[in-house]
Amino acid sequence: MDTVFKGEHLLPGQIGQFFLVLAFGAALLSFISYYFSTTDDAGKPGGTWQKLGRIGFYINSLSILGIGTCLFYIIYNHFFEYHYVWAYTSKTLSVRYIISAFWNGQEGGFLLWIFWQAVLGLVLIWKAGTWERPVMTVVALSQVTLATMVLGVNILGVHLGSSPFLLLRDFMSEAPIFKSADYMSFIKDGQGMVPSLQNYWMIIHPPTLFLGFAAMVVPFAYAVAGLWQKRYKEWVAPSIPYALFACMILGTGVVMGSFWAYESLNFGGFWAWDPVENASIFPWITMVAAVHVLIVYKNTGHSYFTATFLMLISFVLVWYSSFLNRSGILGDTSVHSFTDLGMFWQLVTGILIFFVMSVWLLVSRWKELPITKKDEETYSREFWMFVGAVFLGLSCFHLIVVTSVPVWNAMFGLNIAPPAEKARMIHYNVIQSSFVFVITILTAFTQFLKYKKTDVTKFFITTAVYLLFSILITALVVYATGLYKLNFVFVLVMCGSIYSVIANGKVLADAFKGKFKLAGSAVAHIGFGLLMVGALISAGTSTVISINNTGESYSAEFAKDENPRENILVYRNEPQKMGDYTVTYLGDSLNLPDHFYKVNYRRVDAAGKVAEDFTLYPKVQVNKGSLASSPDTRHYLFHDLYTHITMTNSASTSEEKGVAGEEETPKDDTKDYDPAVPHEVAVGDTIRFREGYMVLKQLNNGVKLQNIAASEVLVSVGAELEIVTHGKTYHTAPVYMLKKNGGVFDFPTKVEEAGLKLQFSKIIPDKKKVEISVYQQPESAKKYIVMRAIKFPYINFFWAGTIIMVIGFFLSILRRNKEVKAV
């Protein structure tokens, strides 16, 4: 007999699962219908098969909305009987993070991808015209393939995908707790969200990134349709705006990820060459190359095969990137890849479907492809744009080969160890910088070339003038920033980037004179150049200012992950000199699940005046038994000051407000302090202790304490004390009480900020004094943090360059759209 479980909310999950199956079936109907509409109804627009294809896609789109609604409902209402909700959320999450929990897991990520692809499919039904049937066949096939990833059903003994509506008791069916019908009474909360994901960038970064992934299917579909229908030239023009859109959105999503890494992760930067980071830019690099070669073909008729191949491989690489991220194969080499949910071979199948389709079409149509026999002119724009595309391809190939080491190990039984973090950074930085140098140079001087043929003399004069000017500016920048101390290849990249900015600046100036069609590419290239300038200076010349000159090496465990020389120890309320600043650890603030540490920065100018005074709030979270540190950053126009906690012994849970909290408790915890030192004092007297002094301000009679009735008290006196330590003032009042039954009680207070426990231990009437016993925490028990602070110069060039590059892509999209309409 089946167990009837209590407290479960099964209906929203059942409705959601129904929509999952409906979305898959509708996508399959749409794919089959559009396929037959393309093959059997060729030349018959608006036929029955096409109508069925549209109906299927409309149902698929509505089903996806239904899935999303059901999933958000169970997340928002904390229905922890569902594994997805339990694994990625908790009741302490704010609403904005509950929203981002939708795509926190693998299933949610796939749903986001499917949603955006549905939106783009609806746009194509509206706008594609004669291309609708073959293009939508490919898009619908992609929807079918993606839908299997979240289906979560068994078909002919094969389990397809992982459903976000899977019940926790089905996921952990062997756990003893699920033998009980009322197991829900024991599940009070979920596991929560990984601390590093609790950042506002994770609310907008994944939707943008997945829109970029989804957008990649459209130019791919046009390329497939062109080969399939033997309309070899016609597909190029309408695909370019979509390819530019995919580049713009995916590039934005990738940079948003670097924003998130910079603000939320503690590796001290915006890019770490993590395998998942690398995988996200594979398709972007090849699509950028594809766009440039497509433009070459459109203007000259050259490089058709290269343009088509790059367009096709870009979408295949989207699937390969997803495989690396979601198959679990990078589990030991990446800090943020997903674990395998049984999708390994499904993802491999997805790659093969689109890869085999691409290869078959290219091979079967090879003899018919419009490949020109005429060589390009050496001094022509198309020749050097082709060369640039080749270097972009080589850059991507290098990233794929090294990032895929775990794949090669699994496929061929090898045991190649991926490079260690420091070696990995050097390896990627040097090799990829070499590619970037060539690419930036090409984005500069190709702007002075014309399609087909160029006036060579004029070209060399113009190029030489701008190159010389760029070299002079580079020399100044390199000297001023200290970049010359690094590898010489970085200096070359700086020169190429500045050359690109200046040369494209000239083209942009010409655009303002009436040559508006040149503006998009010029702006995009300027943005890329500035992005590289910012990346080189900020990452290459960043300075650790938290230099540890004490010789303290902390522990061997600490030294595995951190350089002791770059981490300083700061005791609470004890100012510490750090570079130009004096830093003070002021205390803690607990706002679950975040534990903030207040670090005050103060800088005094030559005249002795305070030039800066601000407080940063780096945080630490405990997640599944381990600490996760997130930095806080002070932003300036020309640099950032980045701070994060690397170690602490602080466990404060009270919000520091300048007035110490009082703890009325008879609990004996004097073992945590040095032996008491009694002091006989009168009002106005001073008591000195190791790190400051205190003054007995007054004695207050008739002090009332919670849970003690006034009728039971004979005498109740509070000793109001003012404590001064490390330039800070605190107030507290321990209480001495004589009860009517003869009992004597004292209620000590703690001043955590000063490391004190104060006890009003005796009243001495004949001397008109009282006795205050002072307990101090030993030096070894003082609260402290170990922190690392880094200065990133000119990082705003990186962020500004990104925005400018996106604007350039947008301007290019507008231009290419006009060209399509003109045709």
Residue 695, in any domain of the structure: yes
pLDDT, one tens digit per residue, over 137-160 is 999 999 999 999 999 888 777 778
Predicted local confidence at residue 338, as pLDDT: 61
Q: Band of the pLDDT at 63, cuts 50, 70, 90?
A: very high
Task: Answer yes or no: do 535 and 560 share one domain.
Answer: no
Choose the weakest-confidence range: 270-274, 382-386, 389-393, 478-482: 270-274
Residue 48, in any domain of the structure: yes
The pTM for the full model equals 0.84
Single residue among 541, 566, 582 that ends a domain in this structure: 541
Task: Answer yes or no: do 430 and 496 share one domain.
Answer: yes
Residue 550, in any domain of the structure: no
Contacts of 367 (CB under 8 A, 6+ apart): none
Task: Answer yes or no: do 580 and 534 share one domain.
Answer: no
Task: Answer yes or no: do 152 and 19 share one domain.
Answer: yes
Residue 60, in any domain of the structure: yes
Residue span of the structural domain in which 726 resides = 670-781
Task: Answer yes or no: do 693 and 611 share one domain.
Answer: no
Per the structure, how many domains does the chain have? Answer: 4
What gap in Å lies between CA 246 and CA 268, rounded to an integer?
Answer: 29
Residue 577, in any domain of the structure: yes
Task: Answer yes or no: do 523 and 589 share one domain.
Answer: no
Task: Answer yes or no: do 466 and 573 share one domain.
Answer: no
What gap in Å lies between CA 217 and CA 357, rounded to an integer?
Answer: 13
Bigger pLDDT: 331 vs 118: 118
Task: Answer yes or no: do 535 and 450 share one domain.
Answer: yes
Q: Is the pLDDT of residue 125 over 60?
A: yes
Task: Answer yes or no: do 677 and 748 share one domain.
Answer: yes
Task: Answer yes or no: do 448 and 580 share one domain.
Answer: no
Q: Is the pLDDT of residue 254 over 90?
A: yes
Calculate mean pLDDT across residues 541-550. 90
Q: Is the pLDDT of residue 656 over 70?
A: no
Single residue among 193, 220, 246 that ends a domain in this structure: 193
Residue 261, in any domain of the structure: no
- Select the highest-mean-pLDDT range: 63-77, 294-308, 659-673, 752-766: 63-77
Task: Answer yes or no: do 508 and 587 share one domain.
Answer: no
Question: Taking Cα atoms as reference points, which of 710, 564, 726, 580 lies closest to residue 639?
Answer: 580
Single residue among 177, 193, 209 that ends a domain in this structure: 193
Residue 430, in any domain of the structure: yes
The one-letter code for the residue type at 563 is N
The pair of structure tokens assigned to 319 is: 């699937």
Per-position b or e across 380-393, b if 16+ CB within 10 A of its CB? bbbbbbbebbebbb
Q: Is the pLDDT of residue 660 over 60?
A: no
Residue 622, in any domain of the structure: yes
Task: Answer yes or no: do 523 and 613 share one domain.
Answer: no
What gap in Å lies between CA 390 and CA 395, rounded to an integer?
Answer: 9
How far CA 661 is from CA of 445, 653, 731, in Å, comes to 68, 11, 9
Predicted local confidence at residue 658, as pLDDT: 31
Predicted local confidence at residue 528, as pLDDT: 95
Cα atoms in the 13 Å half-sphere on the side-chain side of 45? 6
The pair of structure tokens assigned to 716 is: 């109740």
Instruction: Compute the mean pLDDT over every residue in the chain, rounded to the nearest whole number.
Output: 87
